Amino acid sequence: MSQDHDHNSHGNLRRVQFALVLTVAFMIVEVIGGVISGSLALLADAGHMLTDSMALALAALAFRVSTKPADSRRSYGYQRFQILAAFVNGLSLLLIVGWILYEAIRRLAAPPEVMATTMLLVATAGLVVNLMSFVILHGGDRDNLNIRGAALHVAGDLLGSLAAIIAALVIMYTGWMPIDPLLSVLVAMLILRSAWQLVQRSAHILLEGAPEWLDIASMKKTIVGRVPAVSDIHHVHVWGLTPQHLMLTMHVSLNDVPAPATPVIREVKRVLREAYGISHSTIEVEFDDCADH
């Protein structure tokens, strides 16, 4: 399990690092293109890519930190740092959406002149770069919220580049400048939904919430049905360091006093591991009344 986690983290880290290099390189190209063309849209998108570069750097740092071994101060290790990074990335996406909407309203009131040809060339190059980054990140662990947060940032850039290409073509053939901010609003709305879901999921994990897919009542019935010595299960708490690393504590009441009780506990742990993917569990065995009562 640990070796698989280290392998996945290393693979995810390499994907994020490669996407980071591509994003930073193209951000520099956008700045140069914006200065040469006098395009505020390109310079604004370069600012957007700067925030994405910071988000990817944070994601890469999270993967590095998460591989640090547990110590006396952090007995669970540092895997939760990935969730914290995903939460911060989700919040930054919401701020970006707010900034895009503000800029769109301002530009609709006074649409700036844009050099459509230069905008088209740079936006097309951006589409290729962002598509490469998205494919790289999409090939990582799809259940990892840190990877998902990084991919959402790149997806925002991808949609932004696509919108810029369409806007440039419309401006080239019709001269209608408001198309640029209007398409920006559409992109912002697409980003908003995914960003909000990322914030919700990461906040749920940070608040020690139980997995959304887990029905605790059904799990209790399954364990009682599969382990005959168990008569009742209560005080169940399930949470995750990450969506892939679930933790559980529970009280288990036994029908009779077995000698010893360890085989029963092993059987309960086997059911938890095989049926629910919970490999870290702490089980308190009771023969009479619950000690907490």
Contact between 236 and 220 under an 8 Å Cβ cutoff? The reply is: yes
Measured between alpha carbons, how far is 142 from 148 in angstroms, rounded to an integer?
7
Domain identity same for 100 and 37: yes
Count, residues in the chain: 293
Q: Which residue has the higher pLDDT, 188 or 131?
A: 131
Same domain for 124 and 174?
yes
Mark whether 187 and 261 lie in a shared domain: no
- Residue type at 223 in one-letter notation: I
- Whether residues 264 and 136 fall in one domain: no
Confidence of residue 47 (pLDDT cuts 50, 70, 90): low
pLDDT at 3 over 60: no
How many independent structural domains does the chain possess? 2
Q: Which of 148, 171, 206 is the last residue of a domain?
A: 206
According to the model, what pLDDT value does residue 266 have? 94
Q: What pLDDT sits at residue 234?
A: 93
pLDDT on residue 67: 79
Whether residues 31 and 115 fall in one domain: yes
DSSP 73: S
In a domain? residue 156: yes
Reported as a pLDDT band with limits 50, 70 and 90, residue 1 is very low
Residue 133 lies in a domain: yes
Cβ contacts of residue 203 below 8 Å, gap of 6+?
A: 87
- What would the pLDDT profile of 61-78 be if each residue is shown by its tens digit? 888 887 788 888 888 888
Does 211 reside within a domain? no
Query: How high is the mean pLDDT of the chain?
Result: 83
Q: Is 292 inside a domain boundary?
A: no
Residue 102 pLDDT level (bands cut at 50, 70, 90): confident
Sign of the CA dihedral 247, 249, 250, 256? Answer: positive
What tens digit of pLDDT does each residue of 213-266 get?
899 999 999 999 999 889 899 999 999 988 888 999 999 998 876 667 889 999
Q: Is the pLDDT of residue 94 over 80?
A: yes
Picking from 161, 186, 206, the residue at the C-terminal end of a domain is 206
Domain that residue 256 falls in:
216-286
Domain CATH number, residue 26? 1.20.1510.10
pLDDT at residue 113 tops 80: no
Please say which residue of 185, 206, 227 terminates a domain: 206
